[in-house]
Amino acid sequence: MNNYELYKVFYWAAKTGSLTQAAKALYLTQPSVSHAIKQLEDSFGITLFYRNPKGVALTQEGTILYSYIEQSHILISLAEKKMADLKNLDSGELKIGGSDSLFKHYLLPFLEDYHQHHPGISLSLIHGTTPEIIAFLKEGRIDLGVVRMPIVDPQLEVMQGIQLQDCFVAGPHFAELKGKILSLDQLLTHPIILFSRNSRARMAITELFQGYGYELKPGIEVGSVDLLIELARKGLGISYITREFVSKELDDGSLFEVQLDVKLPPSQVGFMIMRNMPLSSAASKFIDRIK
């Protein structure tokens, strides 16, 4: 037996006060228990037990050793329980990185479903731009990231999610544009409201305009989808936003889509994890639910 097994025998003999009961608890023979205790006593050069009419009792030295071994046994038992809880998703933490808009308009139903099935798992949503989310993932600060594609990085594995369609929207202040099809020249005569320049959507629309020979300069630059919506509703400009994120406003008429004579390409959402790195049980189960 190794030292851990010897200490286990010692613990149960001390706890039960019986070599026979210790043998039953550990599924060993009584001679094996006696031999293990003798090995431990020989290694220390001291006597740990003495016999009494009821079985065995600890010597003074044995009592001191037991006070340490008991603490170790409790910690090991707690560790084993914790591992079982993590495996069974009774406890743990799931850390996801992404944008506020993707959390709110895309992931929310999945998060709600996951929380209902695994209420013991705490959820941590980390906000950031795509480059920040990639950095968080590589630093181990999150389990997975949800971002707009394409993502090309040999360290990352990317799974395809939903497809989104971006568009330009305006409020009643620009009612004269409703039902018209505008050229890019005509669109750029109006103030444009764009998301921050580090966002994937902003990069995509900037590149598209450059491809047609135009420089897209925003009149207003904001850091949240809610502001894109609200500023467009207030008439401060025409916002570039994901159509799925303003479906309510388009339905109730507080915003309308500004039609263009060029096609705006759709964008793809993807889930990133580190390639060849084991996922926690909590993260694996979440990915299973969104596939």
**What are the DSSP calls for 219-280, one per residue?**
SEEES-HHHHHHHHHTTS-EEEEEGGGGHHHHHHTSSEEEEESSPPPPEEEEEEEETT-PPP
Task: Please give the pLDDT value at position 77.
Answer: 80
Q: Within the chain, which residues score under 70 in pLDDT?
A: 1-2, 85
Residue 96 DSSP class: E
Six-digit token string for 81: 């329980």
Task: Give the domains, in start order, of the chain with CATH numbers.
Answer: 3-87 (1.10.10.10), 93-163+269-290 (3.40.190.10), 166-265 (3.40.190.10)
CA dihedral for 121, 126, 127, 133, sign (positive or negative): negative
Task: Please give the pLDDT value at position 29.
Answer: 94
Task: Please give the pLDDT value at position 76.
Answer: 86
Element (H, E) at 218: none
Task: Please give the pLDDT value at position 89.
Answer: 78
